[in-house]
């Protein structure tokens, strides 16, 4: 399973990030994104509301079961070992985090999940890598741009980087050209306003546009 997830991330190159929506809407969001070509879905924990974590984990599990063999589902904003274990208990395939927490990285790997911590500097990237991270997400990538990623990769080219934060269909080709093995996209794909309005077709169209951009960029 773990090897399958690693291969899928490098092959698909796009993780859709679902943040700030009701857990009950996750299946509809997943369906809309799947129809647009998304095969990797991140459902994030809300750090302001720990009381919602169990519901989020249940949504991860339900979505993973519903789309078994079609879409891989994992968790985002995993900032503690507790959340790693909760994600694992509900069948999450991978854990993303905004920071580099060595204990979180190690626990995810111990439990057989793919670990994707966040980092910005060469020191953070290497700390994450040495702790066992499978990929490191450059965050917030959009604020620093593809040029920063290219410069960062020069001394750490052996580390697999994802571009996350401020990524859109216009800058995806540049991030991939700069050496990113993939990207994570949130509001520009799983847009909360569209979801709240029930305009799921817009998610499908956005997903289709982004997957087409990625296919063209990696030809």
- Active site amino acids: 42, 137
DSSP letters for 66-104: HTTTT-EEEEE---SHHHHHHHHHTT--EEE-SS--HHH
Block residue for tokens 């589902």: 73
Residue 144: name the closest of 117, 180, 115, 110 by CA: 180
Residue 203: name the closest of 73, 33, 19, 37 by CA: 33
What is d(CA 5, CA 74) in angstroms, rounded to the nearest whole number? Answer: 10
What is d(CA 116, CA 160) in angstroms, rounded to the nearest whole number? Answer: 10
Largest CA distance in the chain: 46
Answer yes or no: are the C-beta atoms of 32 and 63 closer than 8 Å: no
Structure token digits, residue 134? 């499978």
Helix 102-110 and helix 122-130, axial crossing angle in degrees, nearest 10? 30
């Amino acid at each position: 399973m773990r090897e399958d997830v690693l291969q899928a991330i490098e092959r698909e190159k796009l993780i859709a990030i679902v943040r700030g929506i009701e857990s009950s809407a996750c299946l509809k969001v997943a369906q809309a994104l799947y129809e647009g070509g998304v095969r990797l879905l991140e459902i994030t924990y809300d750090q302001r509301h720990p009381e919602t974590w169990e519901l989020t984990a249940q949504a991860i599990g339900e979505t993973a079961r519903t789309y078994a063999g079609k879409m891989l589902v994992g968790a985002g904003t995993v900032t503690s070992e507790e959340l790693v274990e909760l994600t694992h208990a509900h069948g999450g395939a991978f854990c993303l985090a905004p920071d580099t927490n060595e204990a979180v990285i190690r626990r995810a790997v111990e439990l057989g999940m793919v670990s994707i911590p966040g980092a910005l500097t060469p020191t953070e990237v290497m700390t994450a890598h040495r702790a066992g991270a499978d990929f490191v997400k450059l965050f917030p990538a959009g604020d620093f741009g593809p040029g920063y990623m290219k410069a960062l990769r020069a001394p750490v080219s052996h580390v697999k980087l994802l571009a996350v934060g401020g990524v859109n269909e216009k800058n995806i080709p540049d991030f991939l050209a700069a050496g990113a093995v993939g990207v994570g996209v949130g509001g520009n794909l799983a847009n909360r306003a569209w979801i709240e309005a029930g305009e799921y077709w817009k998610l499908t169209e956005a997903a289709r546009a982004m997957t087409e951009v990625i296919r063209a960029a990696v030809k």
